[in-house]
């Protein structure tokens, strides 16, 4: 079995922590009704949360992007299915924003992975 590198542990760990925080925020009972700062604010929030969930994992394992996006999307779907049981509304548009956020993390994560690879190679070159 291949050992996980420190970067992978950090990347996956960060994704898991962000997923836990995002899940808690999206399943917490709704607070007092306040007008959103701008129209469709909640869709932007869903997009950003799922972008941030997927990004660290894709950055450390870019070839696993499809599984990461699928996992994040499954989490978004599960959250939407559970929300009516905690006094929130189920919205298909929120799920779409979740999936799009996770997908948007793929090219950014790939770019970060290339940068991490160059840093790693530069560090190995200095030690040789």
Q: Choose among 41, 43, 104, 42: nearest CA to 72.
A: 104
**CA atoms 97, 98, 103, 106: torsion sign:** positive
Q: What is the pTM of this model?
A: 0.87
Q: Are 30 and 83 in contact (CB under 8 A)?
A: no
d(CA 9, CA 29): 32
70-110: pLDDT as tens digits = 999 999 999 999 999 998 999 999 999 999 999 999 999 99
Q: What is the pLDDT of residue 1?
A: 44
Name the more confident of 33 and 37.
Answer: 37
């Amino acid at each position: 079995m291949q050992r996980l590198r420190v970067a992978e542990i950090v990347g996956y760990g960060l994704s898991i922590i962000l997923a836990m925080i995002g899940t808690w925020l999206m399943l917490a009972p709704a607070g007092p009704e306040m007008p959103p700062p701008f129209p469709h604010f909640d869709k932007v929030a869903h997009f950003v949360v799922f972008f941030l969930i997927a990004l660290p994992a894709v950055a450390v394992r870019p070839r696993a992007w499809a599984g990461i996006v699928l996992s994040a999307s499954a989490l978004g779907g599960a959250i939407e299915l559970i929300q009516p049981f905690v006094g929130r509304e189920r919205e298909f548009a929120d799920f779409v924003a979740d999936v799009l956020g996770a997908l948007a993390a793929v090219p950014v994560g790939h770019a970060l992975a290339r940068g991490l690879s160059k840093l790693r190679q530069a560090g190995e070159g200095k030690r040789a």
